[in-house]
């Protein structure tokens, strides 16, 4: 009987593998000369700019805290139109130019205000605690000059800046596991704090309004409420829906859309609210799992269409050497987003 089970299991595995190999990606990597991930896309002066992580082979053994993601710098990519030629503008910010930096330049984001471009980036400080820094430039491609210290009150990873039509700007951030968000409760750092248990309320992303100069928090960061359709918070056991990392905010027809990665279940999900400060009600899966462990995205309008930027590991087949991609994102008449399958 055991032999039959093993043979059946092997046959099933081979069938699944064969099916997976027949599937083709719906889009191709934007660049192949470097590895890129976590694309934050924006339209500045009619041109599309992409601010990704720059993956490298650091030679560090893989682990659940992501030590093998040891990025050293950022490149900025741009193109005139979706499907057009992609330009790599070279190094926009290097770890060695950040006075307080320790290691691991993870997923960044960018913003523009009053003639200045801002690059927001997470990196571990010299005490190995993730903080968020900000750097500025007169050009969307840099080079960016970092502030001498991290943003006061900042922590964890994956900053996303959203500028509301009202003129206010908000920074969304956070990531559990290697992103260290579980170490922060009530804005206080406790390196011994554990991840939530399955029956405990899931850890929430954070949001803070930015000051007029876009360089600091106007008030301390607070939890961003993410609720199910019954108005209840998710438990950690709801790991196919709860927040893990990769916060992104955009607005569509007067509603605010908060999207994020579920991490260990590999979905990109979204929730809708009436305010940039929430609460947000879960709606569903925006992008199903991609090849590779991580997923991290951005959503941007280009002329009269919307696009999803994301990554997978098509070029390398390795979890930590990823490539950014883009595909069209479509809404239904009721404002819901059509779920995207990355392979067909």
Residues carrying an active site annotation: 38, 245
Q: Based on DSSP, count helices (H) and strands (E) in the chain, helices before strands.
A: 1, 23
Tokens of 240: 């196919």
Strands 280-287 and 226-227: parallel
Q: Which long-range contacts (CB under 8 A, 24 or more apart) does 222-226 make?
A: 224/172, 224/258, 224/277, 224/278, 224/280, 225/278, 225/279, 225/280, 226/202, 226/258, 226/271, 226/278, 226/279, 226/280, 226/282
Residue with tokens 């093993």: 6
Give residue 52's Cα distance to chain centre.
9
State the CB neighbour count (10 A cutoff) for residue 177: 16
For CA atoms 13, 15, 21, 24, the dihedral sign is: negative
Nearest to 161 by CA among 116, 124, 193, 191: 116
Residue with tokens 């969307």: 140
Report CA Rg, the chain. Answer: 20
């Amino acid at each position: 009987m055991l032999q039959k089970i093993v043979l059946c299991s092997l046959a099933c595995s081979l069938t699944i593998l064969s099916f997976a190999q027949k599937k083709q990606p719906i889009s191709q990597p934007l660049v192949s000369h470097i590895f890129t991930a976590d694309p934050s896309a924006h339209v500045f002066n009619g041109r599309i700019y992409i601010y990704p992580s720059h993956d490298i082979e650091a030679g560090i053994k893989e682990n659940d805290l992501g030590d093998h993601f040891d990025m050293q710098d950022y490149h900025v990519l741009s193109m005139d139109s979706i499907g057009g030629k992609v330009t790599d503008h070279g190094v926009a910010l290097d770890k060695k130019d950040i006075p307080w930096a320790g290691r691991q330049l993870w997923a960044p984001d960018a913003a523009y205000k009053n003639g200045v471009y801002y690059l927001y980036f997470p990196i571990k400080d010299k005490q190995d605690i993730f903080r968020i820094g900000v750097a500025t430039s007169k050009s969307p491609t840099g080079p960016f000059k970092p502030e001498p210290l991290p943003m006061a009150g900042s922590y964890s990873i994956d900053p996303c800046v959203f500028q509301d039509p009202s003129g206010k700007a908000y920074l969304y951030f956070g990531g559990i596991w290697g992103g260290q968000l579980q170490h922060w409760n009530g804005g206080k750092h406790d390196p011994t704090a554990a991840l939530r248990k399955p029956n405990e309320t899931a850890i929430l992303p954070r949001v803070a309004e930015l000051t007029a100069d876009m360089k600091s928090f106007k008030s301390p960061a607070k939890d961003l409420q993410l609720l199910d359709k019954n108005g209840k918070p998710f438990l950690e056991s709801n790991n196919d829906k709860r927040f893990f990392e990769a916060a992104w905010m955009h607005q569509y027809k007067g509603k605010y859309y908060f999207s994020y990665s579920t991490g260990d279940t590999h979905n990109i999900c979204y929730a809708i609210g009436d305010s940039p400060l929430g609460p947000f009600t879960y709606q569903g899966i925006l992008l199903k799992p991609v090849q590779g462990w991580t997923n991290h995205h951005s959503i941007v309008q280009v002329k009269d269409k919307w696009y999803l930027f994301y990554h997978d590991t098509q070029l390398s087949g390795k979890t930590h050497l990823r490539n950014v991609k883009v595909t069209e994102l479509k809404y239904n008449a009721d404002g819901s987003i059509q779920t995207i399958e990355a392979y067909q």
